[in-house]
Structure 1
């Protein structure tokens, strides 16, 4: 297995669609390059934010290949999870063949396996695919929590390199970080609003939705927290807090795609059954994005012409 550094900021990328709901590969690659230039530490295409649920297997692989082709020096971690172990294994093998540097595997949804079933599911893929793999816990989407004992057991596998935490339970996240502290195992926030708290209890960074819109500022916040400068991290968290909230007023990625269109980074189109952001939320989102275009309250971060923040020492 090739090791990758799972610390820092990893945007959960959107998948742009054209007017015919086909993947807009040109915009996808431009976006990947924008994020790399902004200083992110890796990219995560075809996850929940990338509308993986409505992509065919071939489209999954094509997106992964396009992002790999677009970037120069950041790892690409492909979302390859499924509620069908065989399907997740096939997607993982195809992503590995395409050149992905790592995998993000959501826990099986809908069929709600017991903890022993979760262990078997993830181990089956880890045994077969020699890439660093991140186990993704998001009970709000899957209906099943990956318990700390399960996460710790999985961490002993050489190919299970990390845990994306989106349970909202900081106590549980801290327990997993504590109990895996002696392993080569990363605990990453999967909830933008909990990124700084997660790092404070032993986390290593974030797989972030907000970083699609504000990559430099998110990198500055995470970098400060990882360096132990929590005063600066808190200020940046407070600047980004309204955005964190607006990006989840409706199901992700509905709001972030709208934000991407407002900023000129990509279209807001989604595949059915997802729909465009409700009109009642758009004005507030526009206001938050406009506010973020002003000068940062924190030294070292300035607004750029397109509204992104630039950290001077990154």
Structure 2
């Protein structure tokens, strides 16, 4: 297929809110999707790592995707549908497609630690079966195995593999993949908020972002400025957001971002076991960072996408 999603810009990796009985709070989920769309994001990514996909049943997983699809009007929904084995990832991907997902985000198989040839077979199996744009997701800190540049370049040749989410922390690797796929219809997206601006500077197209759940307008303004070549403005906003980037990763994601969402009134901080609430030692600092951002909001950072929203 010709990829029908523009994979440039800001794609928040959404949280999955839970009620006091640890059931999915679908009303809050839909409200959050609408809030983020109104803020000017370029798409939404439910049930990824930030969405606690590992603690959801398959049915819950698909129900979250369907709820987000139904909640928004004009932005694509890219469903996290990866798993640690190919048949399960294929099933989740097929079911996500059936409920209206516009694209798929596929974490590399975790725990099994496949060789690179196994990764290629895994991704090509899903891409051959499902005619949707698909993003391969490299996060070796969670999976135990990195998707190497040669593998990413080979996968980029597949008509349904549209992008690469880079969460390795290795800017050299990210830049090599962007360099070697620049003649393909292939997007390289940051999966690490602190590296979004550097990733764009070496050829990346945007970010699948945790911080955008809390500061969508600023994140869109930073990415929009960078994509427009205004690196002075992008760098200024990057530094404004720097304390938030750090605060959101003092403990395992999504522990801090869910706490931030509750502080801002966007959703509960409840998590499913084995994840636990943010340690008290970090909460005051997080509150301070969020308060400083609210006090320091300026006209330039409140405009989403650096003016690109009007062009959507």
The two structures have a TM-score, normalised by structure 2, of 0.97
Provide the residue aligned with 1:306 in structure 2. none
Q: 2-side partners of 1:225 and 1:312: how far apart?
A: 9
* 1:103-137 C-alpha deviation (Å, 9 max, x unpaired): 00000000100000000000000000110000000
SS in 2 for 1:270: coil
Residues of 2 paired with 1:196 and 1:78: CA distance? 24
Three-state SS of the structure 1 residue aligned to 2:164 is strand
Per the alignment, do residues 211 and 180 of structure 1 end up closer, same or farther by CA in structure 2, a change over 3 Å counting? Answer: same
**Consecutive unaligned residues in structure 1, runs of 5 or more:** 303-308
Partner of 2:125, secondary structure, is helix
Matches within 5 A, 1:1-314: 1=1, 3-296=4-297, 300-302=300-302, 313=307, 314=309
Q: 1:55 to 1:189 in 2, by over 3 A?
A: same
CA contact 1:152–1:180 (8 Å) conserved in 2: yes
User: In structure 1, what is the Cα distance between the partners aligned to 2:83 and 2:305?
Assistant: 37
Q: CA–CA distance in 2 between the matches of 1:202 and 1:301?
A: 23
Cα drift, residue 77 of structure 1: 0.1
Deviation at 1:300, TM superposition (A): 1.9
- Deviation string, structure 1 residues 15-39 (Cα, Å, up to 9, x no partner): 0000000000000000000000000
Rounded Cα–Cα distance in structure 2 between residues aligned with 1:128 and 1:188: 24
Return the offset for 1:3: 1.2
Give TM-score, length-normalised by structure 1: 0.96
Q: How far apart in 1 are the matches of 2:304 and 2:120? A: 41
Deviations 1:192-222 (A, max 9, x none): 0000000000000000000000000000000
Report the alpha carbon displacement of residue 310 of structure 1 after superposing the two structures with TM.
6.0
CA distance in 1, matches of 2:159, 2:24: 35
Moved over 3 A (4+): 309-314
Which has the larger share of helix? Answer: 2
- What is the SS of the residue equivalent to 1:161? strand
Counterpart Cα distance in 2 of 1:91 and 1:300:
40
The alignment's C-alpha RMSD in Å is 1.2
| Partner secondary structure for residue 301 of structure 1 | helix
Q: CA offset at residue 294 of structure 1?
A: 1.4
**Alpha-carbon contact 1:195-1:206 (below 8 Å) kept:** yes
8 Å Cα contact 1:300/1:311 also seen in 2: no
